[in-house]
Amino acid sequence: MDALLSVEDFTMHYRTKAGWVQAVDGVSFALKRGQALGLVGESGCGKTSVAMSIMRLLPYNAEIKHGRITLGGRDVYAMASEEFRQVRWKEISMIFQAAMNALNPVYTVGSQIVEAIVEHEPETTEEQARRRVAELFDLVGIPADRADHYPHEYSGGMKQRAVIAMALACNPSLIIADEPTTALDVIVQDKILREMEEIRRRINMSMIYISHDISVIAEVSDIVGVMYAGKLMEIGEADDVFKRPRHPYTYGLMHAYPSILGAKRDLATIPGEPPNLMAPPAGCRFNPRCDRATDECRAVEPKLIKAGPEHRIACHNPVWTPSSGGERVGAAR
Amino acid sequence: MALPDSRLDRDTGDTIVSVKNLKKYYPVGRGLFRRQHALLHAVDDISFEVARGEVLGLVGESGCGKTTTGRMLVRLTNPTSGSIIVDQTDVSSISGADMGPFRQKVQMIFQDPYESLDPRMTIFDIVSEPLNVNHIGNLEQREERVAEMLTRVGLAPPATFMFRFPHELSGGQRQRVAIARALVVNPTFVVADEPTSMLDVSIRTGVMKLLTELREDFGISYLYITHDLAVARYLCDRIAVMYLGKIVEIAGSEEVIRNPLHPYARALISAVPVPDPAIARPVPNVRGGVSKPINPHPRCRFYERCPVAQKVCQDSDHPELREVEGNHFAACHLL
């Protein structure tokens, strides 16, 4: 099956007064139609930069060093900007971080979505757009009469739903959701994630979820990518990555996370702090914090290599190695 | 890390914090000259105790009154009514001169280390300020004490941190500075308001472990305010669940997580995402969304959203907390 989105060896740095910030470095992944990818990592690991690169919404000081991003076979950065403007929102849209504050307080919520639709589909009349908004509100669970209300009359969860409705407005085939539920309480978060997943399945849309919370990623993703210091460290099917994390960082992250399930186990700490991306460590960027680091790790930067049918890792000394018989021997429990 | 499970039994009988019928109402209303204000019942008649050496977790969604409760315990907010006794001191009756000694016994750690540290003060100034204010020691002794505290919270060697400014430190390091500042006066009781929620996971575990160690080393009791039940499970001996200004359930933390009794606690716990894609969580059983407790109806606060509400819940007042099982309290007519 053809990839809807493909990111190949993508490297993007930010120019600052103090030097180059190596925000995204050699990131590669592909996403099929209908799939949900979860990108997880801590603040500053480059996950939002990847999203902005795909949306072609990078700030002026960003420079693409190499690599390419294709959407439905078309190179995102080879398109004229007017051409991409048509792609953005219609084929690919984004739910921004803290999106609930992204609504304009002086316009009604409905009129803001109508504006987005008419802007991108000039053939649509306002009347048609208004009817579409009613359908969208129904889809995300907001009573239709609320379209005429202002953002301040909405609760946090409803604003988030409205922003999701806006992202869905032009029937995109891919939505990037950057921390879509981070500011919300768990019960609301649960509802919204369930609704988003239901919509995604119903209209066979692709999704990229970005979150710092591995529990959220575990629940909504088919594929999980773990980022650290601008690098994709591990990517694979969610079941694989969560049952058999191979990269020491993924392993550490999972064991540092408290859970309300199962026996209460000791939490692991990852010593140290993420590196300064202006001068990342030589070799593997995780090596100063890694208890499995070898001389090779300190000298040679690991490439993403195959660790299973749909599982790739960037590590010289992975945590779990398949026993001699071949791939996917019983889980290492 | 020692897992705090049964510490409560060891310390029974010795209570450090005792809260009775605590209330905080805020007037809300339109217009400057309107006489009749509506009242927002931020904290509405709650009672609980914290044993010496215990960590009590206060959990709930935003707006449930957990931070207001914490602030009243350290007297940053004055209660509308009710009594708070912390380490034999009646918190509501403290006035000017007694505030100093009180602040030495009781400290607070705030949520956001980017906002709680003065950007123009050095780390030494920040951590030594409580000593200055309370006239403890001379400069040399203060320096020694600050160095000792910085080392203790993992900012070693202290000399490399003392004369730096907050903006030179990472989030995790700043929160460690905030902890050092709170503990420098040797408090017996600390209110920690979401101290790890702004930190990344790999940093957060370290701070959580630090709080546990400090409690063991210095015998500090905590009120740990958080919205994250998984974190509360790890750090707290007991958990109190708040909903719209009321405590609806309170019990040992494993007990609350594994055997929640109140319908709200059940919904809240089933909504917590789990880091395992193989597990399908049940849909949390709750209706509608959170409202604000402005002039609330006297009946059960959870009535409108409760999936199992009966006629008795509609007709009676908000239920009292009652011991449903051994040491497991819940406020529900149907239990």
**Axis-axis angle for helices B171-183, B139-152 (nearest 10):** 130
Alpha carbon dihedral B51, B55, B59, B65, in 10-degree steps, equals 60
In chain A, residues with a C-beta closer than 8 Å to the C-beta of B284 are 187, 190-191
**From A141, which residue of chain B is nearest by alpha-carbon distance?**
B288
Q: Where are the alpha helices (H) located in A150-292, listed in sequence order?
A: 156-168, 186-203, 214-220, 238-243, 248-256
Chain B stretch 52-71, residues whose beta carbon is closer than 8 A to a beta carbon of chain A: 61-62
**Which structural domain range is residue B106 located in?**
7-290
Q: In degrees rounded to 5, what are phi and psi of residue A26? A: 60, 40
In a domain, B256, yes or no: yes
Q: Do A190 and B273 touch (CB under 8 A)?
A: yes
- Whose CA is closest to A153, among A191, A114, A98, A109? A109
CA A201 to chain B, closest CA, distance in angstroms equals 16
Cβ atoms of A198 and A167 within 8 Å: the answer is no
Q: What is the pLDDT of residue B1?
A: 39
Nearest CA in chain B to A44: B200
Q: Do A187 and B268 touch (CB under 8 A)?
A: yes
Partners of residue B206 in chain A, C-beta under 8 Å: 269, 271
Q: Is residue B12 part of a domain?
A: yes
Q: Is A5 helix (H, G, I), strand (E, B) or coil?
A: strand
Find chain B residues with C-beta within 8 A of A267's C-beta.
Answer: 1, 205, 208-209, 234
Which of B268, B275, B279 is nearest residue A214 as measured by Cβ atoms? Answer: B275
- The DSSP bridge partners found for residue A40 are A211, A226
Q: Which two tokens stand for residue B307?
A: 């999936």
Q: Would B310 be classed as within a structural domain?
A: no
Q: What is the number of structural domains in chain B?
A: 1
What are the backbone angles phi and psi of residue A271, rounded to the nearest 5°? -65, 160
3-state SS string for B33-98: CCCCCEEEEEEEEEEEEEECCCEEEEECCCCCCHHHHHHHHCCCCCCCEEEEEECCEEHHHCCHHH
Model pLDDT for residues B269-301, shown as the tens digit of each residue: 999 998 888 888 889 998 877 778 888 999 999
- Using a CB–CB cutoff of 8 Å, tell me whether B230 touches chain A: yes
Cα separation of B107 and A81, whole Å?
A: 56
- The tens digit of pLDDT for each residue in B156-180 reads 899 999 999 999 888 889 999 999 9
Q: Which residue of A has its CA nearest to B266?
A: A187
Give the pLDDT score at B97: 81
Instruction: Kindly give the parts of chain B with pLDDT less than 50.
Output: 1-12
Read off the tokens for B103. Answer: 């602040």
B227 at A interface, C-beta within 8 A: yes
B279 and chain A: CB distance < 8 Å anywhere?
A: yes
d(CA B144, CA A286): 35
In chain B, which ranges are continuous DSSP H helix?
7-10, 66-73, 99-105, 123-133, 139-152, 159-162, 171-183, 201-218, 229-235, 253-258, 263-270, 311-315
For residue B312, tell me if it sits in a domain. Answer: no
Structure tokens at A184: 């919300």
B306 touches chain A (CB under 8 A): no
Identify whether B319 is part of a domain. no
Task: Give the model's pLDDT for residue B5.
Answer: 42
Dmax of chain A from CA atoms? 66
Distance CA B281, CA A261 (A): 11
Is there a domain that residue B170 lies in? yes
Q: What are phi and psi of B28, to 5 degrees?
A: -130, 150
ipTM: 0.85
Rounded distance, CA A235 to CA A221, Å?
12
* Cα separation, A162 vs A149, whole angstroms: 11
Residue B323 falls inside a structural domain: no
Work out the minimum CA distance from A239 to partner chain B, whole angstroms. 6
The pLDDT assigned to A326 comes to 36
What pLDDT sits at residue A235? Answer: 96
Whether residue B100 is contained in a domain is answered as yes
Distance, CA of B306 to chain centre: 26
Does residue B282 have a cis bond before it (omega within 30 degrees)? no
Give dist(CA A157, CA A28) in Å, integer.
33
pLDDT of amino acid B93: 84
Searching chain B, which residue's CA lies closest to the CA of residue A273?
B203
Among B57, B75, B43, which residue's Cα sits nearest to residue B4? B57
- Residue B242 at interface with chain A, using a CB cutoff of 8 Å: no
- Report the chain A residue with the minimal C-alpha distance to residue B200: A42
Q: Which residues of chain A have pLDDT under 50?
A: 323-333
Instruction: Give me the residue from A189, A190, A268 closest to B205, CB to CB.
Output: A268
Give the distance, in angstroms, between the CA of residue B132 and the centroid of all CA atoms in the same chain. 27
* Phi-psi domain of B46 (left: phi exceeds 0; alpha: psi -120 through 50; beta: other): beta
Ramachandran angles phi, psi of B161, nearest 5°: -105, -30
The three-state (H, E, C) secondary structure of B22-35, written as one string: EEEEEEECCCCCCC
Chains A–B, number of C-beta pairs less than 8 Å apart: 121
Q: Which SS3 state, helix, strand or coil, does residue A237 take?
A: strand
Residue B242, domain CATH: 3.40.50.300
Q: Which residues of B touch A270 (CB under 8 A)?
A: 202, 205
Radius of gyration (C-alpha) of chain B in whole angstroms: 21
Asked whether B280 and B97 are in contact (CB, 8 A), the reply is no
Question: Residue A324: what pLDDT?
Answer: 33
> Is residue B174 less than 8 Å (CB to CB) from chain A?
no
With CA atoms as reference, the chain A residue closest to B62 would be: A185
Look at residue A69 in the predicted model and tell me its pLDDT. Answer: 96
Q: Where are the beta strands (DSSP E) in A43-201?
A: 62-71, 74-75, 92-95, 174-178
